[in-house]
Each structure stands twice: as C-alpha cells, then as structure tokens.
C-alpha cells in the first residue's frame, strides 16, 4: 500500500487588533491662516489706495480716523475664522465654546499688547531718523498703524514665550502669512522713507506719507508671499 504523506496542519492564531499609528502634525495656530490671508488680501489694498489719496492733505487726521478701521479688519480676520479640523472633529459643544472664548481672549490680548508696544515702535522710528520734536502725533500714529499691521497678527498666531520671539527677531520663525506680512511691513516702511529727503518739494513727501504707503504695500506683498509659501507646504 502506498504511504500517504501527511502535511502538518497550520494552526492560525487570531491576530491582535492593530492600533492606528498616530501621525504627527504641525502645531496649529490660533486661527486659520487661509481665511486670514484671503480676507486681508482683499481689505488692505483698498485701505492702501484710500490712504495714499487722502494722506497728503492731512496725515494726522487721516491716520487717526483710519486706525480703528485697521484694528477692526485685523480683529475680524482673527475672530471670524474656523479652527483647524483636528481641533473640532471630535469636539463637543462645550469645547467649541471654550475655543471660541479662547480666540476672543487671544484677539483682545494681541490688541492690548500691540497698543502697549506702540511707544516702543515710536522710539525705533526715532532711532532710524524720524523727527524727534516735530510731527510727534504723526509719528505716534504711524507707530500705531505699524503695530496693528506687523505685531497684532504675530501676537495672535505665535506663542508668547522667549524662545519663539527670539526666533522671530532672528528671522528663524516659520514663514506664515502673518510673519511674512510683518516682515513686508517693516521692509516697506524702510523703503518708503527713501523719497522723503529728495529735493522734489512734493506734497506727498510730507512725513510720514510715503512711510505709511510703503508699510501697507509691503504688508500686502508680504502677506501674498506667505500665502504662496504656505500653500506649497500644504501640497507637500
């Protein structure tokens, strides 16, 4: 009789359930950069055109009247944006309310700190050649506009700790639209001061018309650059 070879039976053991692997993600900012960028890109060019046409007639009056509008635009960009998906995907109603309160408190804190830092920016303008004893209201209002354009978004999107702000000053912070807009504001204000000492005797060469115009143009360009860079990072 032929011998039948028996093959060893393979006993299958139930496999242990695999747990999903947590994929690390970048920390979220306090509000969505996309909405902030898109809305501000539409608002600030309009403000720039209006300011450039009205400023030469009465810089102090126009800067004073437009300051609340700029603060409102910045605050709206912060308040009326939705949190990142991972923050609200499994959140309860109470957590959403807490996050809304946190956004409001962050906005208020950023605005208050921007106001408190305005005299410091005023001092920086003086160190870079702004008039010391004349045009003080104009310089102070210019400093307030600079604070709202450059500092307000950063104060609301970056943590308020020493290491982060050392990186911001050292130009090592992430190139978010808020950060590139701040850099553009500073660069634009510096370039805007170039035409003032030229002997053209034009009305728009009055301090600080060209500096304000340069700050707003630089802010819009910087914000656009940041939007493009952040869009490329998301695709990657």
Burial of 135 (0-12, 13-18, 19+ CB in 10 A): middle
> Tens digits of per-residue pLDDT, 27-71?
344 344 444 544 555 566 677 777 777 888 889 999 999 999 999
**Domain membership of residue 163 as a residue range:** 33-81+96-235
* More confidently predicted of 90 and 108: 108
| Residue 12, domain member (yes or no) | no
> Tens digits of per-residue pLDDT, 144-172?
999 999 999 999 989 999 999 999 999 99
Helix (H, G, I), strand (E, B) or coil at 69: helix
| Residue 212, domain member (yes or no) | yes
Cα–Cα distance measured from residue 18 to residue 139, given in angstroms and rounded to the nearest whole number: 63
By the 8 A CB rule, do 210 and 195 touch?
yes
| pLDDT for position 192 | 94
| pLDDT for position 133 | 87
Asked whether the predicted pLDDT for residue 196 surpasses 70, the reply is yes
By the 8 A CB rule, do 75 and 107 touch?
yes
| Residue 191, domain member (yes or no) | yes
| Model pTM score | 0.76
| Residue 87, domain member (yes or no) | no
| Residue 176, domain member (yes or no) | yes
Please state the domain count of the chain. Answer: 1
């Amino acid at each position: 009789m032929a011998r039948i070879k028996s093959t060893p039976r393979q006993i299958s053991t139930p496999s242990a359930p695999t747990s999903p692997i947590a994929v690390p993600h970048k920390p979220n900012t306090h509000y969505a950069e996309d909405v902030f960028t898109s809305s501000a890109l539409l608002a600030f060019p309009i403000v720039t055109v209006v300011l450039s046409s009205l400023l030469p007639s009465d810089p102090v009056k126009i800067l004073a009247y437009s300051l609340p509008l700029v603060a409102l635009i910045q605050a709206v960009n912060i308040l009326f944006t939705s949190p990142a998906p991972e923050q609200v995907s499994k959140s309860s109603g109470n957590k959403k309310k807490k996050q809304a309160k946190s956004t409001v408190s962050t906005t208020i804190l950023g605005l208050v700190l921007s106001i408190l830092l305005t005299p410091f920016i005023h001092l920086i303008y003086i160190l870079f050649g702004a008039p010391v004893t004349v045009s003080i209201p104009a310089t102070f209002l210019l400093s307030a506009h600079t604070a709202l354009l450059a500092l307000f978004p950063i104060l609301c999107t970056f943590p308020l700790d020493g290491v982060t702000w050392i990186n911001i000053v050292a130009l090592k912070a992430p190139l978010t639209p808020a950060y590139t807009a701040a850099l553009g504001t500073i660069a634009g204000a510096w370039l805007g001061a170039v035409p003032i000492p030229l002997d053209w005797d034009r009305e728009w060469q009055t301090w600080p018309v060209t500096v304000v115009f340069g700050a707003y143009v630089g802010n819009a360009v910087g914000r656009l650059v940041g939007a493009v860079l952040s869009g490329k990072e998301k695709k990657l």
